[in-house]
Amino acid sequence: MRLFHTGLEAGTLDIFPDVVGSPEISSVRARTGERSLYFSGEGIQRVLLPINSTVLGYEMYFRMYMFVENLPTSAQTIVFFPGASYYNLYLLVKLMPDGRILMYEHYLYGYSYYSTKTIELNKWFRLEVGVAMYAVDGVLEVRINGETFVSRTGNTRRRRSGIESRIFGIVIGSPWYIPSDTYETNTLSFYADDIAVNDYVGDKNNSWIGDSFIYLMRPNGVGAYSQLTPVAGDNYSCVSDESESTYVSTSDPNKIDTYSIEEPDYDSPIGTVTSAQISYKIRTAENRSGKLLSAPVIKTGSGEYVGNDKGITMEYLYEREVLEEDPTTNEDWTLTKIKNMEIGVKSK
C-alpha cells in the first residue's frame, strides 16, 4: 500500500509534520517537475515523513532520488528509520566520504554493513531501502538504481528481551539519536525528489517501488460543484496558486467544490499509473477545532467519491489521501481517468 509520496511541487516544507534546521525547497534542480528538497549540509537538517500506519514497523519500502554534488567529509546519514526506543532496532543509511553506502543497524550494539560499490556524483540516482523485520527470512537492504548495494538477511527482528522491534517513522537528513561512537559532522549537501513509501499491505504498491515519476496536477478550471465562496474570481483560481490570501471558504457543512485539473507536465511517456494522492491545505478561522471536518472529493465520469474525514485546526495543515485505484469504480487508474477527473473538497 502506498503510504505517501511527494515530488515537492507544492513548494513548501509544510507537507512534512516536522522540519528541523533549514532544508529548503529548491528550484535549482529537479528530477521531475520544477522542485526538489535541498539539504545544504550545514548543521542539523531533517524532515519527518507524514507516515501513519498501524502496520508500520514490520515491512516497508522507501524510495528517494538523490543528486549529490560533493561527497561528505565523514559518514553522513541520508535516511533514518527510528526504532521504538534506544534498545530497539533502528536503521541508518549513510553515505561515506569515498562514495560507498553504509547501512548501520542498531539494537543494543551497532552493526555496520558497507557496500563495495560507490554512487555516482552529479546525476540523479535512485536510493531504495527495504526493511522487512522478521525473525526468519527478514531483509534489510539498500539498492541504488535497482542494484543491491548492501543487504542483510536472517533475523532482522533482533531485540532486547521483552521489547519488540518496530520502526515508527522515516526521517530524511540528520537523525535525532545516533550512537555515541558515531556522532557525525553534517557536511553532505544533496537534492532529493520523487520520494515515496510503501508498506506490504494489499495487492498494490506492497513492495519495492522502483522507477517512477511524481507529477503535480493543479486545479485549472471550474468543476461540477462550486458551493464554497471564493475570495475573488473563480473558485479554482483561489486554490491553484500558492498564496494563502486567495482561498475558498464556507460556514456550512456539506458544501462541495470540485475543479478540473491540469495535465501533468511530463517530458517522458507515461506507463502505468500506480497511485494518486489528493492533497489540500485547510484551516478554520474560528476556534472550533475538533468540531469541524473536511473530506477530499473525486468526481469521475463514473461517480463521486468522498474520502476520509479530516479534522481542521486553526493553523493551516496539509491534508492528503492516497488512492491506489479509481475509488468510483475500484478499477486501476489510467492516465485518461486521471486527466478527466475533478478533484475537490467537502465541508463536513
Shortest distance in whole angstroms from residue 179 CB to Ca ion: 34
The nearer residue to Ca ion, 33 or 72, going by C-beta atoms, is 33
Residues 191-220 that bind Ca ion (CB under 5 A): 193
**Smallest separation, CB 95 to Ca ion (Å):** 21
243, 251, 308, 330: residue in contact with Ca ion (rule CB under 5 A):
243
141 binds Ca ion (CB under 5 A): no
Q: How far is the CB of 168 from Ca ion (least distance, A)?
A: 27
| Other CB atoms within 10 Å distance of the CB of residue 329 | 14
Integer angstrom CA distances of residue 133 from 92, 129, 199, 241, 288? 15, 13, 12, 42, 42
Select from 5-13, 62-70, 101-109, 274-282 the region that touches Ca ion (CB under 5 A). 5-13
Q: Are 47 and 172 in contact (CB under 8 A)?
A: yes
Q: How far is the CB of 294 from Ca ion (least distance, A)?
A: 16
Burial call 90-107: b when 16+ CB within 10 Å, e when fewer: bbbbbbbeeebbbbbbbb
- Look up residue 182 and give its three cell numbers: 558515531
Instruction: Name the minimum Å distance from CB 34 to Ca ion.
Output: 7
Helices (H) and strands (E) in the chain, counts: 2, 25
Q: Do the beta carbons of residue 26 and residue 192 sit within 8 Å?
A: no
Asked if 344 touches Ca ion (CB under 5 A), the answer is no
Site for Ca ion in 7-26 (CB under 5 A): 7-8
* Cα-Cα end-to-end distance for the chain: 27
| Residues that bind Ca ion in the complex, under the rule CB under 5 A | 7-8, 30, 32-33, 35, 193, 241, 243, 246
